[in-house]
Amino acid sequence: MPATSSNLTSPSVRHLPVNHWNSLKPSQDEMIAKIVQDQVFQVLIVERDSMTSDLLALALSSDKRYAAASVPGSQLIRVVSRGEVDLVIIGGELTAGGGSGLQLADTLYRAQPEIKMILLLDDNSREAVLNAFRTGARGVFCRRQSMSEFLDCVEHVRKGFIWAARDETNHLLEALRSIPKTNSLSDNDLPMLTARELEVVQHAARGKTNKTIASEMGLSEHTVKNYLFRAFAKIGVSSRVELLFHLANRSQAFDATGVDYRPIKAVEN
């Protein structure tokens, strides 16, 4: 899709003629069926109104690498359980009975942690951005940015990266810089973990992927994921981002030489 200066809240996004829109829009059942069946990157979109959700789904589906459909927030968990879904895009400020998008994202992550998430925000304040990443989101996108930047965000998350624009990246880096420097985690810092769980957490806190951790420890990626889930449950967190905030709150941290401070959009998760 060609780059455009329109953002996700511009009139051109919100006020398409209904008759023109309906002629372009596949039925929700058709789109969800396409997602379940096709061997493409499969995306569900939960926004605060159906027209915005459908617009984003159409924009993504114009690229043959994606199959995208909109779905009401109340139906998300049920739809996800019906078939393979790779990414869910959630509006952080859901209304009309949809509840909080952050709460929905947190519920989805706890039920299906392997599914990537992007949170769409009106407010990109430090608190809003950090709360969005705490849900387990791989990308945080401000609606004031352009459609081309939105597609860039989705593409980076599809490739396995964490994505944030400049302001959001600065908020996250400021939070990371607030973590005091120490040598490394030890069994005295987190005594409830087994030796293996502690070792995996040490690697994860340094930003290593499950694949890298598995290779270095001689384990399968599935085993590494199980160790992380058990460790997260004992510590009381649900994602790597929450782990970092937990360590900051306890005044514990990891060796700063293990952190990659490139722009967040280019950091592999």
Instruction: Determine how many CB atoms are found less than 10 A away from the CB of residue 38.
Output: 13
| DSSP-assigned letter for residue 121 | E
pLDDT of residue 191: 59
Q: Can you tell me whether residue 32 is helix, strand or coil? A: helix
**257/217: higher pLDDT:** 217
* Residues 178-214 pLDDT 10s: 655 444 455 455 558 888 988 888 888 777 788 889 9
Q: Mean of the per-residue pLDDT values for the chain? A: 75
* Residues 114-126 pLDDT 10s: 889 999 998 888 8
Task: Give domain limits for the chain.
Answer: 11-175, 180-258
Give, in words, the CATH class of 180-258.
Answer: mainly alpha
Least confident of 95-109, 132-146, 174-188: 174-188
Flag whether pLDDT at 3 surpasses 80: no
pLDDT of residue 60: 92
pLDDT of residue 179: 57
**Quick one: fold of 11-175?**
Rossmann fold (3.40.50)
d(CA 244, CA 134): 10
pLDDT of residue 217: 93
- Residue ranges in 159-250 assigned as alpha helix (H): 166-177, 195-205, 210-217, 221-235, 240-249
Q: Mean pLDDT over residues 35-62, rounded?
A: 83
What's at 244, amino acid-wise? L
pLDDT of residue 120: 94
pLDDT of residue 10: 55
